[in-house]
Amino acid sequence: MHAYNIHSMKKIIYIFLFSLITFSGNFLLAANGDTTYLKPFDKVSFNHYGNFDKWAVFPSPTKKSQRIFMKYTVGCESNGQCEWDYTNTIYVRQNTGTKDSSLQKATTFTVNGAVKDSFNYSTDTTWVTNYNASTKKTDSISSTPLTIIHFQFVSALQPQVPIDTIKVFPVQYYKYHFDSTGKKTDSIFVAVKQTIKAVYTNYYLVFDKIIDYEMGRMITPYAKFFPKNFAYEYLYDVTDYASLLHDSVQIRMNYSGYSWGFVGTIEFFMIEGTPAREAYKVANLWNGYFAYGNASDPIDNHLQPVSFTKSDSLTTVKLRMTISGHGSDGTQCCEFQPKNYYVKLNNNQFAQNQIWKDDCGSNPITAQGGTWIYNRANWCPGMIINPYQYNLNAVSGNNTIDVDMEDYTNTGAGGYAYGSQLIYYKNNAYNLDAGIETILAPTKYFIYNRTNAICDNGKILLRNFGIQTITTAIIKYQVGDGEIQTYTWYGSIAFDEKTEVVLPNIIWANPSSSKTFKVWIDKTNWQVDENPFNNTLSSTFDFPMVLPLTFVVETTTNLHPEENSYTIKTYWGHTVFSKIFSKTSTLHRDTITLGYGCYTFEFLDSGGDGLSFFANSSGNGSLRLVKTPISQGMIKSFNADFGNFISFNFRAGSQVGVDEVNIEPSSISIYPQPANDKVIIQSEKMYITQAQIICLDGRVIKSFNETETIAGELNIADINTGIYLLNLKGSNGEQVVKKLCVVK
């Protein structure tokens, strides 16, 4: 047994003791104590089909964790194939402390390592013949010898002790003679000289009884043609398995692939503290791969009802099921056909769902080598398989849980992989507890790369960890060390539910500053909630591209132009340009002229196969943005194998977050132009509360507060000669950009 890379980290942030953990571009500011970090798998090469086991030493069970995260990174060896969509499943293994046994047979001999009931051979050398085309004669060479090992049964601990090894030669074949033309003229049968028969001894193999609990599952991407240094990080919340992740524990990775070359890294982050509800027990239900549609062995034979006991009214129980369909029969079931399951508690159906994932064309890993865009039975290549989860309304005492599949009969060539458990919890620890689950934007986490980078509204997932329903949340956010903004969210989130929250009008720091976005919950339901340690999250991000105010969208359609369209919208959703297509294999050039601001270019494909996909007979289109005139070059080219959509956020004219919105710029005057030591502002419709002078490279070089802007006279005596942008912000969120010329 070995312990791998365990250590604790502490950082002091503000007045609290936090732990700072990087999760694929997101930073978790959490924990009222240490964070334990373990790395049992470090770029382990999956060079064969089956199981890979590593030991790790987790904290003792007395050290509670409010959250436990597992990060799985899939990569490729420098000479790896990394070719197919294989299932990778991660288990925690529990040694029950009990013994089990299985009936085995010990033989008295093997031949080249193989067990045989009987074997014919010769102890004398036997020969094989063949025709020599060069000499035109019959050649003779000795046959390949075989190794017989004789064993003696001593005990169940020593069932096959080697006692003798002999070299023998094969028999029972013909040796041929050939004439000068290579024609067979005669033959001699090599007869049996000796025969050996096996004697078997029955014995029981005793072993530790180990139970495997599935914690996470994903499918590798079609990465054969990717650069071999790729690394994709996937984050799993494994807090439910806290009762198993303590002391010395074996972690198992099961790799279902036959092509070698993928490598895997598994890391754990155990954030010390009081969990929202302590998971104190896990019980397996239905686990394994079960054929579906076989009339002689229906899948329901393997999905039998399971009885369980809920100890008292103070505990709760959750059903967690990871299901994915694989293989195919005549109707493409199960991988490519949706089917339903039905869940019953105490014989009463309370849930049903379709085992299906309908957005594979929105995969964060685009342009894969295989059929990555095809929707499948709850999985897509290169993505996590998310579990179905249900909080059960179980009664105290005995209960029965059951799952049934919809009726279906075929060949049974396809089936479903099940990994399911009951999770038992103690009482909820908090009455009022909101938490920030993740930052959707802005972030560099690759899972959200298709809608990032952004230059408009931020997005987070807000989750309720407390008993009380959350109806309001005062959320604060900030870029780098810039201005702190406040947003009050209204809605309704029940316990253990989450919702997407849009954070409007981010004030961006200048591009040379720290590219870090921080968001935190200030109040929940107008109060300070009971658990501050899940209230803060940060992310790193990239600024979006800056495009000129005038550019060209250049599209070459494929054979299905009716599937394609695009729009350009402002950050508040106003469409400034839209386009549909009707002609096949045609070049379209659209000149776009925009004002300063933030925009989203969205190109859609209703067929889900982009402008080019190898498996469909749709031809090859293309999409790019070019400068005008064209002789000035290309701005950006998009990969035509994009599946469902392209979402490209950009700024026109300037990097910083300034927009001409709502207010007509002509209603605001600034003079003199050029200015020297002061500039006068006259506004007819906008109450100006803030002003910024911005270099053309995006740097904010001077800011003015509300007192200065109300006076209508800005002191620019310290501003050097040059051309600038004057960004004016109003009391109702309006923003206007004016050009400012300064001459000294």
In this model, does residue 680 exceed pLDDT 90? no
Residue 261 is assigned to a structural domain of this protein: yes
Is residue 22 over pLDDT 80? no
Interatomic CA distance for residues 518 and 509, integer angstroms: 12
Q: For the segment 490-518, what is each residue's pLDDT rounded down to a tens digit? A: 999 999 999 999 998 888 866 556 789 99
- Report the CATH number that the domain containing residue 271 is assigned in CATH: 2.60.120.230
pLDDT at 426 over 50: yes
Reported as half-sphere exposure (CB side, CA atoms, 13 A), residue 6 has a value of 15
Tell me phi and psi for residue 333, to 5 degrees. Answer: -90, 130
207 occurs within a structural domain: no
Sign of CA dihedral 730, 736, 738, 744: positive
Which of 426, 451, 472 terminates a domain? The answer is: 426
Reported as a single tens digit per residue, the pLDDT across 282-291 is: 999 999 999 9
Give a yes or no: residue 659 inside a domain. Answer: no
- Least confident interval from 26-30, 255-259, 534-538, 689-693: 26-30
Contact yes or no for 325/334 (Cβ under 8 A): yes
The percentage of residues in the chain with a pLDDT greater than 90, rounded to a whole number, is: 71
Residue 102 counted as domain residue: no
Rounded Cα–Cα distance for residues 87 and 326 (Å)? 10
Q: Give the side-chain half-sphere CA count within 13 A for 203.
A: 16
Of 454, 544, 449, 434, the closest CA to residue 503 belongs to 454
Taking the model in full, what pTM does it have?
0.77
- In this predicted structure, the answer to whether residue 425 has a pLDDT above a threshold of 80 is yes
Q: Which of 163-172, 546-555, 601-610, 732-741 has the lowest mean pLDDT?
A: 732-741
Same domain, 591 and 508: no
**Higher per-residue confidence, 542 vs 421:** 421
DSSP letters for 28-79: EEE-SS-EEEEEEEEEEE--SSEEEEEEEEEPPTTS-EEEEEEEEEEEE-TT
631-637 average pLDDT score: 87
Q: Is the backbone of residue 174 left (phi > 0), alpha (psi -120 to 50) or beta?
A: beta
pLDDT of residue 591: 95
6: which residues sit within 8 A by CB, 6+ positions away? Answer: 36, 37, 38, 56, 57
Average pLDDT over residues 72-76: 96
SS3 labels along 633-685? CEEEEECCCCCCEEEEEEEECCCCCCCCECCCHHHEEEECCCECCEEEEEECC
Residue 666 binned pLDDT confidence (cut-offs 50, 70, 90): low
Which tokens go with 271?
């954030």
pLDDT at 732: 64
Per-residue model confidence (pLDDT) at position 665: 56
Instruction: State how far the Cα of 374 lies from the Cα of 380, in Å rounded to an integer.
Output: 8
Domain-located, residue 685: yes
CA–CA separation, 63 vs 68, rounded Å? 12
Domain count, the chain: 6
In this predicted structure, what is the pLDDT of residue 659?
Answer: 41
Residues 401 and 512 in one domain: no
Q: Indicate if 554 and 481 belong to the same structural domain.
A: no
400-418: pLDDT as tens digits: 999 999 999 999 999 999 9
Q: Which residues contact 138 (CB under 8 A, 6 or more apart)?
A: 129, 130, 131, 132, 176, 177, 178
Q: Express each pLDDT in 262-286 by its tens digit.
A: 999 999 999 999 999 999 999 999 9
Q: What local confidence, expressed as pLDDT, does residue 18 receive?
A: 33
Residues 85 and 120 in one domain: no
Q: Are 579 and 565 in contact (CB under 8 A)?
A: yes
Separation of first and last alpha carbons in the chain: 75
Q: Residue 496 and residue 277: Cα distance in Å, rounded? A: 10
- Please check whether residues 122 and 186 belong to one and the same domain: yes
Q: pLDDT: is 629 or 503 the higher one?
A: 503
In this predicted structure, the answer to whether residue 699 has a pLDDT above a threshold of 80 is: no
pLDDT(5) > 60: no
What is the predicted pLDDT for the residue at 11?
A: 31
Residues 217 and 257 placed together within one structural domain of the fold:
yes
Q: Is residue 296 located within the same domain as residue 422?
A: yes
With respect to residue 236, please indicate whether it lies within any of the assigned structural domains.
yes
Domain shared by 288 and 218, yes or no = no
Task: Give Cβ neighbours of residue 113 (< 8 Å, ≥ 6 apart).
Answer: none
Residue-averaged pLDDT of the chain: 89
- Euclidean distance between CA atoms 622 and 632, whole angstroms: 19
**Is 355 contained in some domain?**
yes
Which one, of 540, 539, 535, 538, lies nearest residue 31 by Cα?
535
The last residue of one of the domains, among 392, 426, 460, is: 426
Q: What is the pLDDT of residues 235-257, one digit of tens each?
A: 999 999 999 999 999 999 999 99
What one-letter code names the amino acid at 688? I
Q: How many Å apart are CA 35 and CA 17, to the nearest integer? A: 11
pLDDT at 596: 78
Q: Residue 487 corresponds to which tokens in the numbers above?
A: 């947003």
Please indicate, yes or no, whether residues 702 and 569 belong to a single structural domain of this protein. no
Assess if residue 660 is contained within a domain.
no
pLDDT of residue 7: 36
Q: What is the mean pLDDT of residues 710-730?
A: 85
**361/318 same-domain check:** yes
Confidence of residue 32 (pLDDT cuts 50, 70, 90): very low
- Interval 446-463 mean pLDDT: 93
Residues 301-343 pLDDT 10s: 999 999 999 988 778 999 999 999 999 998 999 999 999 999 9
- Domain boundaries, position 79: 1-96+212-275
Q: Which of 278-292, 392-406, 704-718 has the lowest mean pLDDT?
A: 704-718
If one compares 669 and 300, the residue with the highest pLDDT of the two is 300
Contact 558, 612 (CB under 8 A): yes
Give how far Cα 320 sits from Cα of 171, 388, 463, Å. Answer: 59, 6, 18
Q: Average of pLDDT values for 660-684? A: 74
Same domain, 382 and 418: yes
Per-residue confidence (pLDDT) for residue 733, from 0 to 100: 63
Is 90 exceeded by the pLDDT of residue 451?
A: yes
State the pLDDT confidence band at 604, using cuts at 50, 70 and 90. very high
Q: Which CATH number characterizes residue 599's domain?
A: 2.60.60
Q: Using the 3D structure, point to which of 358, 391, 426 is the last residue of a domain.
A: 426
DSSP string, 488-547: EEEEEE-TT-EEEEEE-S--PPPTTS--EEEEEEEEETTB--S-GGGSEEEEE--PPEEE
Report how far residue 743's alpha carbon sits from residue 732's, in angstroms, rounded to the nearest whole number: 33
201, pLDDT greater than 50: yes
Per-residue model confidence (pLDDT) at position 25: 56
Percent of residues, the chain, with pLDDT higher than 70: 92
Backbone Cα Rg of the chain: 34
Residues 459, 378 share a domain: no
Task: Give yes or no for residue 635 having a pLDDT over 90.
Answer: yes
